[in-house]
Chains A and B, each alone.
Chain A
Amino acid sequence: MNKAVSRREFLKTSGGVALFIGVSGILPQMISCKNKKEVQGIIQKHPLTAWVQLTDDGRIIIYNPAAEMGQGSMTSLPAIFAEEMDADWSMVSVEFSPQESDIYGSDKWSPNQKVMLSAGSRITYGYYSIMRQAGAQARYILMHSAAEHWKVPLAELSTENGKVIDNQAGKRISYGDMIPYLVMPDNLPEFSESDFKDPKNYRFIGIDQPRVDIPEKVMGTAQFAIDIKLPQMLYGVLERGKLHGASPKLNNELEILALEGVLKLVHFDYAIGIIAETIDQALAAKKLLNITWSEAPSSGFNSQECYKKYDEIASDKSTGKVIIDEGDINRAIKSADKNFTVDFKNDYVYHAQMEPLNAVVQIGADGKSAEVWVGSQQGFDSKLGIPKYLGIPAENVKINLQYLGGGFGRRSMTDFVLEGTGLAREVAPRPVKLIWTREDDVCYGAYRPLTLQRLRAATDAQGNITGFSHCVVGDGGNLVASGIGIDYYDIPNKFAEWREVSEGIRLKHWRSVGHGPNKFAIECMIDEVATYFKKDPADLRRKLLAKSPRALATLEKAIAISDWGSAIDTNRAKGIAFLERSGTLSTGVCEISVDRTTGKITVHHFWSANDAGIIIQPDNVKAQIEGGIVMGISSVLKEQLTIVNGQVQQSNYSDYQILRMEDIPDSIETTIIESKEPPRGVGESGTPLVACAIANAFLKLTGKPLRHLPFTPERVLNVLNT
């Protein structure tokens, strides 16, 4: 224990004080739970700002600062807190914290700034130390209060499963029964690593707890934003067209306004909004809109023809934005015995989260306040841009976070929240539920960028890689650059650059971001080199990872669990890939076959070995990686969003098909390697393993490389027939 901080400072820096504490004025204030009226009064006046609340009936409510989009934050973050608090898990319930980043933010996204953001698989990493610290402080307050109550030195007390214990006196009291005796210590200690619980006494970290959100998700009572119904609520829809950024001119405004239930039309720069009494009326009116669309920056763009231009950009003598420059790549290429140059491509993919975008927004009658119910991955502004949009102070905006029916990056945008706000402003104080149809969600999506990647590998005569160069051509900066690094590979000369091209198509992070396309290109290149030199691709990676022991351990583990190298059915082959995503190190192996008449690839088995640091909830980590692999298979074998003359060509699951149950592998085996390092992200590490593992298996099976995502049957047939 070191560096005690004052109560006031604690509130400011560590974010809220443990236990049942409201903010009254500046200083946190302990509130007795005995006087319910007083408590309710104070809570009404001052929003509760704490990580935990003890209630009269003995329940421990722990606040989750992260979004819950299926990644299990509702269980894993409270489990970290409960571990250090030494809580009785059977008494724990979990609620979303208020969306107030000053109190509930983490600085792990951006130095010196507290941010609430569920993105980049970073919430466990981002909140691990915060939850441990806050949990330990909550326990300290309980022990301090018991010491005062029993008039014994704090050092004589201990805790056990939700009870403070005085072993000498043989007394014990449950946390809930401590409520009348709670006192705030003058100084709350800041705990350090040596003060925290010994991991061998862990009851929650590393030990599966059933996910707290699952019972309501199987009963149908879990509440998503789309399920919200408020008194006097209206419904909103927008027509945004299929050409991103085009402006609408509405030709039949009067006709639409005359329709039954239609209350108002709202003009946006890029859309026409309709507000109606019921959802069916709003949707019926949307179908009848007669709109002329302007041209836009993406007019004339054809996503399947642009690769020729990208090839020219990659061939240009100038250099783009240099991302990595280690050693001397030009010398490596010049002095190489053999150089490989290979282009890889990937088409756009769409998020396809199952819950279409939506938000419920209510603006105060005076236009100076807003309340929002939304499934959001949050953001640097925990008020989701609404204060600026409405020109009102941030404290006048209340965000009620709901479960997300999938995020995958799409819900880290606020476009749909601001649209809902724009509609609600027109009919304040009546609330509006904005719903995107699936067609809206596809057509006005924000996709993982299309790219062309030119990779060069320089080798010596034995096939050792001496230089590795990676040029990515595409739109979106980090959206196409993430995952281009290969620190873990022992290659003396490395170079990577991004060459920008802009098409006016909306883009966004898509599960694993640039790692999907970049790791595909990198890992396939490794196998192309290995194949040329008749080396075992696993062996080649063994050499490359020789100086990265944690990475190498995942490789060895994957080799072992997949029985790599053993004889299998001659119609099948295995492929391997290694990568790092969100700090997690993963090796994946898949076993595939291909129907040579239809071009259809089948993935039979997938194995992965992962080092993700300390694991909070092992089964959930496996579930995340399994899910990521399934989404990876889906995107790699089926998903393709195309643009013709700027117009998005797909509109629903009919023409944007995602993986169905008929195409799932027989098994996915996920292994976690034990580690004492801080926890890292697992939500995205499975997804980018898939493209490269499949392509590498295909290369082994057929001798032909797959270099353009997705591997649709037509493309596979083309490759087989050339």
Chain B
Amino acid sequence: MADYSLNINNQTYNVEIKEETTLLWVLREHLGLTGTKYGCGIALCGSCTVHVDGKPIRSCTLPISGLKKNHKITTIEGLSQNGDHEVQKAWIEAQAPQCGYCQSGQIMQAAALLDENPSPTREEIKIYMNGNLCRCGTYLRIVKAIEIAAEKTSQKP
């Protein structure tokens, strides 16, 4: 057991926990931030995607001991104030989710993509999003949503 102080969504959380506990379980079961989902536990489905210092990370394989106090963690709950991130708005416009379980991870991955590359080609979208599985088969609408968000973002001054 060790004490950890984590910066999550610009708030400080203190947790006493075993070093090998993954960030996923800390977020979900210890801190109650359940928007981040458990899907596979081996970083193959992307449902657990969060940002660490703005980069998309699979929280299910990241032990809590691998994080530093100054790391900034962002989860779906902290992506925007009112669910109004361009990616979230585009997701609604495209009516992308079905069951919705993978969508937090998809949205976090897509938000990171547009941060890195504001105008991705369809091929670039597919490559960047390839690690995020969706069983309901919403992939085409996810692509569409990312294209909508990219267009809206690029229109902004």
Q: Which residues of A contact B (CB under 8 A)?
A: 69-72, 210-211, 213-215, 217-224, 226-227, 229, 235, 278-280, 352-356, 403-408, 435, 437-439, 619-620, 623-624, 626-631, 634, 652-654, 658-662, 664-665, 667-668
With A218-B103, A662-B127 as known contacts, state yes or no: A279 contacts B25, CB within 8 Å: yes
User: Chain B: which residue is nearest A664 at the CB level?
Assistant: B139
Decide yes or no whether B107 CB sits under 8 A from chain A. Answer: yes
Once the chains are docked, how many angstroms separate the CA of A227 from the CA of B101? 11
Q: Is B73 an interface residue (CB 8 A)?
A: no
Having A214-B92, A438-B41, A630-B140, one finds 9 other A-B pairs with CB under 8 Å, namely A218-B107, A219-B35, A224-B37, A354-B101, A356-B38, A406-B101, A435-B38, A437-B41, A660-B131
B19 to chain A minimum Cβ distance, whole angstroms, is: 11
Asked if residues B127 and A406 are in contact (CB atoms below 8 Å), the reply is no
A405, A630, A667: the one contacting B137 at CB < 8 Å is A630
A626 touches B140 (CB 8 A): yes
Are B88 and A219 interface neighbours, CB within 8 A?
Answer: yes
The B83-120 residues at the A interface (CB cut-off 8 A) are 83, 88, 91-92, 95-104, 107
Q: In whole angstroms, how far apart are the Cα atoms of A135 and B5 in the complex? A: 53
Q: Report the minimum CB–CB distance from A552 to chain B (whole Å).
A: 28
**Chief secondary structure at chain B's binding surface:** loop
User: By the criterion CB–CB under 8 Å, are B75 and A220 in contact?
Assistant: yes
Q: CA separation between A111 and B92, bound complex, in Å? A: 39
Chain B contacts with A in 1-45, Cβ cutoff 8 A? 17-18, 20-22, 25, 28-30, 32, 34-42, 44-45
In the assembled complex, the CB of B35 is this many whole angstroms from the nearest CB of chain A, namely: 2
Question: Is the Cβ of B42 less than 8 Å from the Cβ of A623?
Answer: no
Q: Are A355 and B99 in contact (CB under 8 A)?
A: yes
Interface membership of B132, Cβ < 8 A: yes
With the chains together, A147 CA to B96 CA distance in Å? 45
Q: Which B residues are in CB contact (< 8 Å) with A72?
A: 98
| A229, A405, A662: the one within 8 Å of B130 (CB) | A662
Q: How far is the CA of A229 from the CA of B34 in the complex (A)?
A: 10
Residue of B nearest to A620 (CB): B95
A219-B88, A280-B18, A354-B101 known; A406 and B143 CB under 8 Å? Answer: no
Known: A627-B98, A654-B42, A662-B127. A354 touches B140 (CB 8 A): no
- Of the residues A221, A630, A668, contact of B35 by C-beta under 8 Å: A221
Name A218's contact: one of B22, B36, B92 (CB within 8 Å).
B92
A658 to B134, CA, bound (A): 9
Q: Is B152 part of the contact surface with A, judged by Cβ < 8 Å?
A: no
Q: Which residues of B contact A403 (CB under 8 A)?
A: 99-100
Q: With an 8 A cutoff between CB atoms, is B57 at the interface?
A: no
Q: Taking A652-B44, A664-B140 as contacts, is the C-beta distance between A229 and B100 under 8 angstroms?
A: no
In the bound complex, what is the Cα–Cα distance between A626 and B129 (angstroms)? 19
User: 8 Å CB contacts to A: which residues of B48-98?
Assistant: 75-77, 79, 83, 88, 91-92, 95-98
A-B contact pairs, 27 of them (CB 8 A): A69-B98, A71-B98, A211-B97, A214-B91, A217-B103, A218-B88, A218-B97, A220-B77, A221-B35, A227-B28, A278-B30, A354-B47, A404-B99, A405-B101, A405-B102, A438-B40, A620-B95, A624-B98, A629-B137, A630-B140, A631-B135, A652-B40, A652-B42, A652-B44, A659-B139, A661-B125, A661-B143
How far is it, in angstroms, between the C-alpha of A214 and the C-alpha of B41 when the chains are bound?
A: 25
Q: How many A-B residue pairs have CB under 8 A?
A: 178
The residue on A at minimum CB distance from B85 is A218
CA distance A630 to B136 in the complex (A): 8
List, in ascending order, chain B residues with CB within 8 A of A665's CB.
140
Q: Which A-chain residue is minimally distant from B75 (CB atoms)?
A: A220
Chain B CB count within 10 A is highest, among A70, A211, A354, for A354
Inter-chain CA distance A628–B135, complex, in Å, is: 10
Is residue B153 within 8 Å, beta carbon to beta carbon, of the partner chain?
Answer: no
> With A and B bound together, what is the CA distance between A282 and B137 in angstroms?
32
Q: Which of B77, B126, B135 contacts A352 (CB 8 A)?
A: B135
Q: Which residue of B lies closest to A352 (CB)?
A: B135
On chain B, the residues within 8 Å of A405 by CB distance are 37, 99-102
Q: Which residue of A lies closest to B82 (CB)?
A: A219
Given contacts A70-B100, A353-B99, contact A653 B133 (CB under 8 A): yes
| A229-B29, A660-B130, A662-B130 given; A69·B99 CB < 8 A | yes
Nearest chain-B residue to A406 (Cβ)?
B99
Point out the residues of chain A lying under 8 angstroms from B129, CB to CB.
661
Provide the residues of chain A in CB contact with B140, threshold 8 Å: 626, 630, 664-665, 667-668
Contact A406-B136, Cβ < 8 Å, known A215-B83, A219-B88:
yes
Determine if B29 and A214 form an interchain contact, defined as CB atoms under 8 angstroms apart.
no
A659 to chain B, nearest CB (A): 8
